[in-house]
Amino acid sequence: MESRGYYYEREKQYPIDYKDILLPHSFYADFIVFDSVILEGKSGIATKGLAQTINDLKCSDCKVGLVLNFGKPTLEIVRVVF
């Protein structure tokens, strides 16, 4: 991404605010691209991976998440919109 000039952040931390209480746990997104897309790399896409991306979207200002599955012979991409 850097060689193409894409702005990104790695392992971005998102605090969790639940009913006006800041929880001690945080979510960490693998990559945030252009401050608007969450990019998660997985070795397999399962319900847990999609749930993590949805939680990241809820905690951030991002509306789109991409889950990349590197566990198959060809790259599989799942788009998650929140």
Residue 9's pLDDT is 92
Residue 65's pLDDT is 92
Residue 59 is assigned to a structural domain of this protein:
yes
Residue 56 is assigned to a structural domain of this protein:
yes
Beta sheet of 37-42, edge-to-edge order: 8-18, 21-33, 37-42, 64-69, 76-81
Residue 59's pLDDT is 83
Residue 2 is assigned to a structural domain of this protein:
no
Residue 20 is assigned to a structural domain of this protein:
yes
CB-CB contact of 28 with 11 (8 Å): yes
Residue 14's pLDDT is 86
Residue 79's pLDDT is 92
Domains of the chain: total: 1
Domain of 65 in residue numbering reads as 8-81
Residue 3 is assigned to a structural domain of this protein:
no
Residue 1 is assigned to a structural domain of this protein:
no
Residue 63 is assigned to a structural domain of this protein:
yes
Average pLDDT by consecutive 10-residue portion of the chain (82 residues)?
Answer: 90 86 87 91 74 84 89 87 87
Residue 33's pLDDT is 92
